[in-house]
Amino acid sequence: MKRVLVTGGMGFIGCNFVKYMLREHDDVKIINLDKLTYAGNPENLKDLKDKRYAFVEGDVCDKSVVDKAVSKCDAIVHFAAETHVDRSIMYAGDFVTTDVFGTFVLLEAARKHKVQRFVHISTDEVYGEAVGRPSKENDALMPKSPYAASKAGADRLAFSYFCTYGLPVTITRCTNNYGPYQYPEKLIPLFVTNAIDDLPLPVYGTGRNTRDWIFVEDHCQAIDMVLESNDFEGEVFNVGSGEEKSVLDIASLILSYLNKPDDLMRFVKDRPGHVTRHAVNAAKIRKRLGWAPRRTFEAAVRTTVDWYRNNPEWWRPIKSGEFKKYYEKQYRTE
Ligand code: NAD
Ligand code: TYD
């Protein structure tokens, strides 16, 4: 039985990954270490009744909690992070603390307990702008937001633990995910849930900024493949679908699928440091691990819209709680 410590498993990608792993593997045990910040939601895994799964509430910055959890595991998949660019512009310190220092605490414990695999979940945001072509693994890291910069620090710190201490680290840099259980501060769930309620869809700047969009299950599969493989210590894998879409493309698709008018789109002031284009070249993971996304963008967005339409009891409480104060601050017009 392989024992895997998943950090941040109550968040969006983490909870999808926990379910994916327990469904795909009989010989895996999972410990989920999560602080339950505003983005960590026990509802995401409330239906999981599996003896191979255990939850520990705790902070990745807390050495004693981390040491205990790591001592019981063979491998680590490190998702826990502050993740929203707009919040990083308001509260950069929280990002440096969790994303950089929290990663350091986890790496130290992994070194002490000699874990066999450490998969560090980085992001394509570490590259900054993809100028002229999608970013490649060896491109310079030019992060533009405090979120991206904190993730870049964590990404290179993880690499340094491979170079310096021989820790078996592999790093993934995935593009923008979407799918069930994504906190509605991010573009797709925000636009879907606002459109369902006939509320405006706030488009930053011109709306022509593009991202490479991937369905969360396809990302989970890529992480599983990286975790299973023993040959890529110290390496980085980009993960992306190649489906580059602008904010305007996405808003139009969601509005037309929900039969809502285009005039729900509302152009608002741009995000400071807004990255025009994030996109990755994912040839390495396709060639070396045989990974390929299984879903097409339109079909997977429809699946996602249907999920939010069918699960209002999941997102309505979120949108009326802490989120409401955040939303008023973020989107108020001076
Ligand atoms: P999320 O914000 O939905 O979830 C983050 C989780 O981490 C939450 O459950 C939260 O409670 C937990 N957490 C936060 N601080 C913690 C701390 N100090 N200690 C323990 N737990 C803590 O994030 P997500 O979208 O699921 O992203 C997961 C990871 O994937 C992050 O590392 C992110 O940088 C990376 N990533 C995300 C995307 C994306 O599109 N969402 C793309 C590429 C990479
Ligand atoms: P987001 O989901 O925050 O992901 P990231 O900034 O990490 O890529 O945003 C995706 C794109 O959507 C980005 O170009 C910013 C834009 N956006 C809006 O236009 N309006 C919004 O309300 C949000 C949240 C994002």
Domain housing 219: 2-177+215-239
Active site amino acids: 124-125, 147
Residue 191: inside a domain, yes or no? no
Give yes or no for residue 151 CB within 6 A of ligand 1.
Answer: yes
CATH of residue 83's domain is 3.40.50.720
Which has the closest alpha carbon to 66: 113, 9, 14? 113
The two beta strands, 2-7 and 75-78, are: parallel
pLDDT of res. 193: 98
C-beta of 176 in contact with ligand 2 (< 6 A) = yes
Burial of residue 290, with CB atoms counted within 10 A of its CB: 0-12 exposed, 13-18 middle, 19 or more buried: exposed
Is residue 55 included in any domain, yes or no? yes
Instruction: Please tell me what DSSP assigns to residue 270.
Output: P
Q: In whole angstroms, what separates CA 192 from the centre of its chain?
A: 18
pLDDT digits (tens, 9 = 90+) for 52-102: 999 999 999 999 999 999 999 999 999 999 999 999 999 999 999 999 999
Which strands sit side by side in the sheet containing 210-215, from one edge to the other?
176-178, 210-215, 244-246
177 phi/psi in degrees, rounded to 5: -95, 155
280 part of a folded domain: no
How much of the chain exceeds pLDDT 70, in percent?
100
Record the tokens describing residue 63, joined without a space: 């050495």
For 45-54, what is each residue's pLDDT tens digit? 999 999 999 9
pLDDT tens sequence across 28-47: 999 999 999 999 999 999 99
Sign of CA dihedral 308, 314, 318, 320: positive
**Would residue 321 count as lying in a domain?**
no
Q: What is the Cα–Cα distance from 232 to 219, expressed in whole angstroms?
A: 18
| Block residue for tokens 């970013």 | 135
pTM for this predicted structure: 0.98
Q: Which ligand is nearest to the CA of 184?
A: 2
Q: For the residues 217-222, what does the mean pLDDT come to?
A: 98
Residue 334: its pLDDT value, please?
52
Is 5 a pocket residue for ligand 2 (Cβ < 6 Å)?
Answer: no
Ligand 1 centroid vs 34 CA: distance in angstroms? 10
Structure confidence at residue 230 (pLDDT): 87
- Of all ligands present, the nearest one to the C-alpha of 223 is 1
> Are 56 and 42 within 8 A, CB to CB?
no
**125 with 148: CB under 8 angstroms?**
yes
Is residue 65 assigned to a domain? yes
**Could you tell me if residue 156 is inside a domain?**
yes
Please give the tally of structural domains in the chain: 1
Number of residues written out for the chain? 334
Compute the radius of gyration of the chain from its Cα atoms: 19
Query: Does residue 231 lie within any of the structural domains?
Result: yes
> How many helices (H) and strands (E) are present in the chain, helices listed first?
13, 12
> Ligand 1 test: best mutation among 79, 176, 188, 218, most atoms within 8 Å of CB?
79
Tens of pLDDT, residue by residue over 257-286, are 999 999 999 999 999 999 999 999 999 999
Is 279 contained in some domain? no
Spatial CA neighbour of 111 closest among 160, 53, 180:
160
- What pLDDT, in 10s, does the model give residues 291-303? 999 999 999 999 9
